[in-house]
Amino acid sequence: MEEINQNSPTSLDFNTEKFEPKDEIEIQQIIKFCYKKNLPIEIVGNQTKLDIGKKMQCAKTLDMSKFSGIIDYKPEELFIKVKAGTPINFVREELKKNKQHLAFEPINFSKIFKKNSNEGTVGGTLSCNFSGSRRFKVGSARDHILGFKGFNGKGEKIKSGGTVVKNVTGYDLSKLITGSFGTLLAISELTLKVLPLESETKTIIVSGLALEHAMGIMGSAIASSNDPSGAVYYPGNLRNNFVFNDLTHPGSITAIRVEGTKISTEQRINNLTKELVLEDKKLTILDSTQSEIFWEDTRSLKAFSNSDKNVLRAVVPPSETVNLLNRLKTFHPNYFLDWGGSLIWLELDYLSSQKIDQIRDRILDANGYLTVIKSPENVKSSSEIFTIDPIKFKISQNIKKSFDPKRIFNPGKMYTGI
């Protein structure tokens, strides 16, 4: 289906506020209608990440959650093609049947936003581009999208990419739409790279380390030949979130994950213990089952779950982390570190837009960036949610215009004026 006749008969009620298209013809008709009438549209999936970004006042809602299903899955070709509204959990289960997975470990926000077990749709996951602990090894969501189809702000169907990994055929629009929070395109179809699940996972936990020491250990682990796939640090005050039979030591948790065959994981755990001189430390090795729970808890932000506190996400070069956290002490945050210390999840009791600005300034000083994940509506409305400078704002505005000239898709969701 390349071109859709906009005059084809439709059962759509254009007076409705919320559209739930069941096919591409309907998606196109809705967008063409809104384009013609200058009606802003909020694009949503399962609404699990709706609270990230600014709240919008849109005349129409395009709910993609009914546009769901696997179009093509070829395990031996390492790709899966799905409709944008397909639940990410469903995809995960299907992949698991073939011992495969989405290696970028999309962050599960359902616990911090209290959305039960709903993790949202594939379209929503890619639109937000928040990736888990394997980031430094396998990349993020943007590194796993091979191609897409969707509709621009004029209702024109466009595609880019394909099903293969190696592809230099025109601009890589797949990357551009990933993390664009639905402001460029209504995505209808996505092709994702999938990878084999490793047969064993082991986690080496060093208990009771101070931050500086933990940063050194994580950095050395990542910079070794042992190919770790996760390195996180939980300070002592968050220790009680993790209850494992084998984890008996008190104090902070510095955890390093290795994945592979049984023989390989064992060898790498031994290597790490020796190379990082951990023999005399309080060590715990989590087996595959316990490891999976530990990293699932990290991916789900368990340490900050079921609370009403504010959540911020900062990313800085790892060499800046310690200094930045010292400079943030005045705000009394809870924090934990992922990506070997480069990703800092912050939890704060009280937040104002002024505080956000102060925190952002310190993060910018550290050559990093801040994203406001969870905060009260009145704070969000008067704050910058995503860091941007004026030059890139102008570039982004031009790019937005090239996709969505009337700014009907998620206007203001990321930035005022985009």
Residues 102-131 that bind other proteins (CB under 8 A): 129, 131
- Least distance from other proteins to the Cβ atom of residue 243, Å: 31
Nearer to other proteins, 65 or 100 (CB): 100
Q: 340, 350, 57, 361: which is closest to 222 by C-alpha?
A: 340
Contact 306, 272 (CB under 8 A): no
Sign of torsion over alpha carbons 6, 7, 8, 9: positive
- Least distance from other proteins to the Cβ atom of residue 13, Å: 27
Nearer to other proteins, 165 or 277 (CB): 165
Q: Which residue carries 């191609």 as its tokens?
A: 147
Cα angle for residues 42, 48, 50 (degrees, 5° grid):
35
Q: 134, 84, 67, 86: which is closest to 106 by C-alpha?
A: 134
Determine if 371 is a binding residue for other proteins (CB under 8 A).
yes
Long-range contacts of the stretch 319-322 (C-beta < 8 A, 24+): 320/366, 320/367, 320/368, 321/215, 321/366, 322/211, 322/212, 322/215
Cα angle for residues 319, 320, 321 (degrees, 5° grid):
100
Strand 60-63 versus strand 145-151 pairing type: unpaired
Determine if 92 is a binding residue for other proteins (CB under 8 A).
no
- Least distance from other proteins to the Cβ atom of residue 354, Å: 20
Determine if 322 is a binding residue for other proteins (CB under 8 A).
no
Kindly tell me which residue out of 317, 350, 416, 417 binds other proteins, with binding defined by CB under 8 A: 317
The DSSP symbol for 134 reads: T
Determine if 166 is a binding residue for other proteins (CB under 8 A).
yes
Length of the chain: 418
Nearer to other proteins, 91 or 315 (CB): 315
Stretch near other proteins under the rule CB under 8 A, chosen from 60-68, 72-80, 237-245, 294-302: 72-80
- Least distance from other proteins to the Cβ atom of residue 113, Å: 19
The DSSP symbol for 260 reads: E
Which positions from 282 to 311 touch other proteins by CB under 8 A, shown as an x/- string? Answer: ------------------------------
Stretch near other proteins under the rule CB under 8 A, chosen from 18-26, 48-56, 153-161, 350-358: 153-161
Kindly tell me which residue out of 133, 140, 291, 310 binds other proteins, with binding defined by CB under 8 A: 140
Contact 148, 81 (CB under 8 A): no
Nearer to other proteins, 21 or 155 (CB): 155
Contact 108, 119 (CB under 8 A): yes
Nearer to other proteins, 76 or 308 (CB): 76
d(CA 369, CA 130): 14
Kindly tell me which residue out of 59, 71, 210, 223 binds other proteins, with binding defined by CB under 8 A: 223
Considering only CA atoms, give the Rg of the chain.
22
Determine if 9 is a binding residue for other proteins (CB under 8 A).
no
Kindly tell me which residue out of 118, 264, 288, 353 binds other proteins, with binding defined by CB under 8 A: 264
Determine if 319 is a binding residue for other proteins (CB under 8 A).
yes
Stretch near other proteins under the rule CB under 8 A, chosen from 8-16, 267-275, 280-288, 352-360: 267-275
SS (H, E, C) 273-296: HHHCCCCCCEEEEECHHHHHHHHH
Residues 374-413 close enough to bind other proteins by CB under 8 A:
386-389, 391-392, 395-396, 398-399, 401-403
- Number of residues counted as binding other proteins (CB under 8 A): 86
Q: Which residue carries 């039960």 as its tokens?
A: 116
Which two three-digit tokens encode residue 249? 């030591």
Kindly tell me which residue out of 22, 36, 66, 196 binds other proteins, with binding defined by CB under 8 A: 196
Determine if 51 is a binding residue for other proteins (CB under 8 A).
no
- Least distance from other proteins to the Cβ atom of residue 315, Å: 5
Kindly tell me which residue out of 123, 230, 368, 411 binds other proteins, with binding defined by CB under 8 A: 368
CA 230 to chain centre: 15
- Least distance from other proteins to the Cβ atom of residue 244, Å: 26
